[in-house]
Amino acid sequence: MSNIHLIFGFHVVVSRLRQHPDSIREIFIDSARHDQRTRDLIKLAETQGIRLISCDNTRLTNMAGARHHQGVAATIDTTRIYVDIDDILDTLSEPARLLVLDGIQDPHNLGACLRVADAFGIHAVIAPKDRAVGLTATVHKVSSGAADTVPYIAVTNLARTLRKLKQRDIWIVGTAADADNHLNSVTLSGSIAWVLGAEGEGMRRLTRETCDQLIRIPMLGSVESLNVSVSAGICLFETYRQQATIKSASSD
């Protein structure tokens, strides 16, 4: 899979310019746009020394396909951001909070997961390089900028990465519909990595076996399962709630 990707839309491109300007190769701008929003983007790109390419709307539409480009697109190099999870863990001064996604295929789900990860202070999202969607233009659009604020680490061997996290005293908690423990019955203190499986299939066998603990989200209605991003939001909020309570109690 190529490490060069296209992203579209003002919010997404400006977010990338502010967070990771060194990952941008060039920015394409509709030559017919001269509004303030466009001028501001051009000024920001010029201060970062980013190459600007003026083109017509037809070219942008052909590049974007069915996606809404708003008259701006950029090519980015995803290898210029984060390479290894140790790059993140070595800089932390607090317990690690990680989200591991085992083979998410839907870009809308990945984008939504990145949004909730950003909302609850997750330090990194980890996913396999193969059999997973990766950071596509749709993911960037759906994430509303979170793809640029939350480090996304694509790994070759997910089970090996989980074992590596264990060696750094990070508790690995997976979600499974048949788990014995409920979310509201577990203590979520210290460093933790939540593992959620792919749509429909859940975690792969080796990923599941590598987890330290499995939990299920209590379901009171007739629906048997939740969207992966909804499940992530519930688990990450509960982690935030418990750790904020512990921090508040310790400061009293």
CA distance 23 to 45: 12
Question: What is the DSSP secondary structure assignment for residue 192, as one 8-state letter?
Answer: E
Give me the DSSP letters along 128-184.
ESSSS--S-HHHHHHHTTHHHHS-EEEES-HHHHHHHHHHTT-EEEEE-TT-SEEGG
Is 153 annotated in some ligand binding site? no
226 annotated ligand binder: yes
Find residue 195's DSSP bridge partners. Answer: 100, 174
Instruction: Confirm or deny that 92 is annotated as ligand binding.
Output: no
Closest CA to 104 of 236, 251, 204, 218: 204
For residue 46, count CB atoms less than 10 angstroms from its CB and return exposed for 0-12, middle for 13-18, buried for 19 or more: exposed
| Contact call for residues 39 and 99 (beta carbons, < 8 A) | no
Residues 63, 6: Cα–Cα separation, whole Å? 8
Which residue, chain included where needed, has tokens 């996604």?
A: 101
Largest CA distance in the chain: 61
Q: Assign residue 143 a region: left if phi > 0, alpha if psi is -120 to 50, beta otherwise?
A: alpha
Report the binding-site residues: 197, 217, 226
Report the binding-site residues for S-adenosyl-L-methionine: 197, 217, 226
